[in-house]
Amino acid sequence: MITRHGTISDFCLKVSDLSLLVVSLGVVVVFRFAPAENPTFVVDYLSERVKVTNAILGALLLFSWYAAFAAQGLYVSHRLTSRTKEVIEIARAIAICSVALLVAAQIGRWPTISLRTIAGFALLSFAVIVSLRLALRYNLRRLREHGHNVKSLVIVGGGMRGQRFAAHIKRRHDLGYEILGFVDSDPVYASGSLEGAKHLGTIEELPAIIANEIIDEVAVALPIKSHYSEIEKTVGLLEEQGITTHVLSDLFPQKLARALSVDFDGMPIVTLGSVPPFSWRTEAKRIMDLAVSIICLLISAPLFALAAIAIKLDSRGPIFFVQERVGFSKRRFRMIKFRTMTSDAEERMNDIEHLNEKSGPIFKIRNDPRITRVGRWLRKTSIDELPQLVNVMLGDMSIVGPRPLSVRDATRMEVVSQKRRFSVKPGLTCLWQVSGRSNLSFDQWMQLDLEYIDHWSLKLDATILLRTIPAIVLARGAS
């Protein structure tokens, strides 16, 4: 029953997607080209004799639109995927559709299809299709909670991984899975149950179980390292039968890394990283960096001039202090600051090393004798950091991220886990900056950096950015 309904609903979804694409294009064309004094524009436009070339181009365009959506996986089950992933797939598909429309318009010489028309088509179709898909997702999940649109699931493996997966499925009624039972050759699990699901038999008996039961999907929850041959046979059997299979991997028991599976020329690759892979979020972060840095540089131009004059009048030496810092992937870059110390500060470092008040690799003195009068004020107000907006614009730094360490401090780091801070771009402001900065120990500082990396999101960046303003105005923890 679910297969027949699924086939019908899949067909309806494909038709609705294509219809919405066509309607979106039509709406944009009408709004852009329909003259106000000619209300019959649409009728006149449609009554024009359709050329054979345009008919063929139109058919090919519709097929390419369908292929774009299918290639992005928009007609496969999204029960176990997030809303965000589906929205990204839609965005990619519509981008391909827009390119296909541009090509068709060039070949057919369609005067109403300009770049502005295509941009309007992309925005409108994205909005309506995302709205439809999210509404459909919501309604399907509500239906599944009431026992409709349910798929039968068998779990291969009764160990801890299988138990955790079964508990998650039982808890998430909105996913629409009914656990028929579990399969495991270990005698320990033969007489037991898995979240109330019965033991169906051993892995060797799986072909018979498939033949006698109605099974929509199978989740393989066996330990990969110790049961590789069984998993290989099981996946091969299920592949032959055309049954959708989910393999729960424990090959790399990562605690902090995020896993991303990709296909590279037919070779499946699992990529692990402590930061999110390149996505619309990371792209949005870079766009935010550019926008904020350029705007702030323009706004603060008078402040730059005043600071430069004050530095020159107060002490001898250059206006800017340029120092090599350790950034993303331990690559070194030249960080720019307003000079707040005497010009011979670096040479005097060894003479005052014994006055260091901080534990760990960093060097900090509350009343550093090398700081100038203007420099103390610049540090108190954080104005000395403003030139780093240039580093942000150049891509060496981000607006929000762990503060860049000097080469001296970075080479003295001994705790291996703290070096994870080099997996992201250093920033102008961070959790440490808004949490007391100079009042915190080095270990507390590093812990805040790691918390930021492990829980990074655009929302967190925005929160830190908003908290930075009062922290600077009130000079919290500044020295």
Highest mean pLDDT out of 86-100, 138-152, 265-279, 437-451: 86-100
Q: Using one digit for the tens of pLDDT, what is the confidence trace for 134-175?
A: 998 888 878 777 777 788 889 988 888 888 888 888 888 778
Give the model's pLDDT for residue 46: 54
d(CA 232, CA 34): 61
pLDDT in tens, 337-387: 999 999 888 888 888 877 777 777 777 787 888 999 999 999 988 899 999
> Taking residues 100-121, what's their average pLDDT?
89
Cα 264 to Cα 72: distance, rounded to the nearest angstrom? 16
State the DSSP H helix or E strand holding residue 447, giving kind and residue range, or none if neither. helix 442-454
pLDDT over 60 (residue 214)? yes
Q: Is the pLDDT higher at 135 or at 3?
A: 135
Nearest to 451, CA basis, from 432, 434, 436, 469 = 432
Q: Give the pLDDT of residue 213.
A: 81
Alpha helices (runs of H) in 146-227, residue ranges in sequence order? 160-171, 187-190, 206-212
CB 288 within 8 A of CB 367: no
Please give the Cα distance from 465 to 286 (Å, whole number): 15
Angle between helical axes of 83-108 and 115-145 (0-180°, round to 10): 150
The torsion region of residue 339 among left (phi > 0), alpha (psi -120 to 50) and beta comes to beta
Q: Is the pLDDT of residue 40 over 60?
A: no
The yes-or-no verdict on residue 6 having pLDDT over 70 is no
Identity of the highest mean pLDDT range in 23-32, 248-257, 374-383: 374-383
Q: What are phi and psi of 150, to 5 degrees?
A: -100, 140
- What number of other Cβ atoms are within 10 A of residue 340's Cβ? 24
In angstroms, the CA 321 to CA 337 distance is: 5
Q: How far apart are CA 95 and CA 69, in angstroms?
A: 10
Q: Is the confidence at residue 1, as pLDDT, over 50?
A: no
Predicted pLDDT at 168: 84
426 vs 235, higher pLDDT: 426
Describe the crossing of helices 301-314 and 373-381 by its angle, rounded to 10 degrees.
150
Confidence at residue 4, expressed as pLDDT on a 0 to 100 scale: 41
Higher pLDDT, 279 or 58: 58
Task: Please state, in angstroms and rounded to a whole number, the distance separating the CA atoms of residues 346 and 468.
Answer: 29
Which has more pLDDT, 383 or 216?
Answer: 383
- Is residue 340 helix, strand or coil? coil
The two structure tokens encoding residue 260: 């991303």
Question: Would you say residue 118 has pLDDT above 50?
Answer: yes
Lowest pLDDT segment from 36-40, 89-93, 296-300, 379-383: 36-40
Largest CA distance in the chain: 90
Angle in degrees, 0-180, between the axes of helices 52-71 and 2-33, rounded to the nearest 10:
130
Query: 386-408, pLDDT tens digit by residue?
Result: 999 999 999 999 999 999 999 98
CATH class of the domain defined by 151-251: alpha beta
Q: How far apart are CA 101 and CA 24, in angstroms?
A: 13
The neighbour count for residue 148, using CB atoms within 10 Å, is: 12
Q: Where are the domains of the chain?
A: 2-145, 151-251, 280-473
- Tens of pLDDT along 59-105? 899 999 998 998 888 887 767 677 888 899 999 999 999 999 999 98
